[in-house]
Homo-oligomer: A and B are copies of this chain.
Amino acid sequence: MTTRPALRDPKQDRSRATRQRLLEAAIACLAEHGWAGSTVSVVAERAGVSRGAAQHHFPTREDLFTAAVEQVAEERSAALRALLAGATDPPERDGPERTHAVVDALVSLYTGPLFRAALQLWVAASNEPQLGGSVTALEARIGRESHRMAIELLGADESVPGVRETVQGLLDMARGLGLANLLTDDAPRRERVVTQWARLIHDVLGRG
């Protein structure tokens, strides 16, 4: 029934596009309606996909939502790295502006729709055993990747005592700032905290 061109498979392309639409709709639903309001049917309808097609791609609700959070987390990491690596006028490698830009970018990972969606998933997982396992593993993976990225972007040397824990605390602070932004727009306060802690981090990394 299908014709297979030499270089592309339109059916596979369509399947990939459907999967992508479902993942995007899942994140939007989770951030807006929470776990309780995010069923496969709701997501499928939002994505303009039949429920059957949705279940073909993701057999369970847990599969759909953990895949969605995971993919967006990966996209964000890649975008962050590209942003800082490819700036046409990059701040001086070891200067305070560079440290500020990195801290600011790391914090921004926790204040957008991805964090809102992930937070809904974490909190739901704390009450729903069937979500617990996959979400705990996903959270650990995102945590490790964020740490690795922070160390690399800050050019930090983890063999120096205290550096590892300083950077971990910075990521905990970023997560806390994300939570503070959940109900109200916390941007002006956040900016002041980021400026001050970027200075402190810069000093601790031995560049002050």
Contacts and interface: CB of A to CB of B under 8 A. Distances in A.
Contact of A196 (B36, B162, B180, B182): B162
Interface string A126-141: 1100001001100110
Contacts of A56: none
21 contacts: A33-B127, A34-B123, A34-B126, A36-B36, A119-B123, A119-B179, A122-B179, A123-B123, A123-B182, A125-B183, A135-B183, A136-B183, A165-B196, A165-B197, A166-B200, A169-B173, A172-B176, A173-B176, A175-B176, A176-B178, A200-B200
Count of identical protomers in the assembly: 2
Contacts of A125: 183
A68 to B, nearest CB: 17
A125 B116 CA distance: 12
B165 A195 contact: yes
Interface string A89-108: 00000000000000000000
Contacts of A168: 189, 192-193
A127 B37 contact: yes
